[in-house]
Amino acid sequence: MISIKTEKEIEIMKEGGRILAEIMKEVAEKVEPGITTKYLDKVAEDLVFKFGAKPSFKGYQGFPAVLCVSINEELVHCLPSGRKLKKGDIVSLDLGILYKGFHTDMAVTVPVGEVSPEAQRLIRVTKKALKRGIKKVSPGNTFGDIGNTIQKYVESQGYNVVRELCGHGIGREIHEDPQILNYGKRRTGPEIKEGMVFCLEPMVAIGDWQIKKAKDGYGLQTRDGSLCAHFEHTIAITKNGHEVLTKLK
């Protein structure tokens, strides 16, 4: 069942979203060659508590860290470690926070120093896929409209959307109904209604869309070892359209 949030609840989530966006901005700015992914996790954890929030992921299904840090062919949910970032890597940062009883969630993929034109283009296409999906977020449209738009754009660029992972509803729980695919057919799936809050998160691979477990036992990566990227926003549905809650003003 897809929950409908009140205006007051959405205001709280809006406040949490602004905090999350600020934290993510500060964490992303720390990305540079030579730092460890564990350092980024510590930066994120310190900022979460500084802003009076709690981490959504730490302890969730046994995950022992605050921040998911995935590099190159790694897609999502990878565990921070002593591994050092290298010039030319791309790194996906995924973070959720709990603020005043409600979760918000976002992800970005950033370059580590100077990266290849191919990696730059992948990041650009994935970010644009999210923007295009968000444009379809409006009362009366369906979740199939969103997935179809993301899929068509990504495939037109010669890439593939990962099909085994999806976006999700969010609120008092980090993952709520519905599951939101990044592919599909127009006019299918539940209708989008005012008061819904959910996360859109296209995950895009240069190669095949199939995935497998990463070496750390927590994360997922592309099965063929191809580069992949991930962007995510938390979005609330309003009377006239939508509002991106995790966007810096």
pLDDT tens for each residue of 112-164: 999 999 999 999 999 999 999 999 999 999 999 999 999 999 999 999 999 99
- Judge whether 220 and 201 are in contact, CB under 8 Å: no
Q: Per the domain annotation, does 204 fall within a domain?
A: yes
Strand order in the sheet with 203-205: 160-161, 203-205, 228-230
pLDDT at residue 87 tops 70: yes
**pTM for this entry:** 0.97
Is 233 labeled as ligand-binding?
Answer: no
Q: The tokens of 28 are what?
A: 């992303």
Q: Is residue 2 part of a domain?
A: no
Q: Does residue 249 belong to any structural domain of this protein?
A: no
Residue-range definition of the domain harbouring residue 179: 7-244
CATH of the domain at 178: 3.90.230.10
What's the structural domain count of the chain?
1
| pLDDT for 249 beyond 80 | no
| 22 in a known ligand binding site | no
**Alpha carbons 42 and 151: distance in angstroms, whole number:** 35
- Asked if the structure places residue 41 within a domain, the reply is yes
Instruction: Check whether 26 is labelled as a binding-site residue.
Output: no
pLDDT digits (tens, 9 = 90+) for 161-218: 999 999 999 999 999 999 999 999 999 999 999 999 999 999 999 999 999 999 999 9
Has residue 122 been placed in a domain? yes
| Of 159, 171, 178, 131, the residue nearest 226 (C-alpha) | 159
* Residue 210, in any domain of the structure: yes
Residue 79 has pLDDT above 80, yes or no: yes
Residue 161: inside a domain, yes or no? yes
Q: What integer pLDDT is reported at residue 238 of this predicted model?
A: 93
In a domain, 1, yes or no: no
Average pLDDT value for residue range 95-123: 98
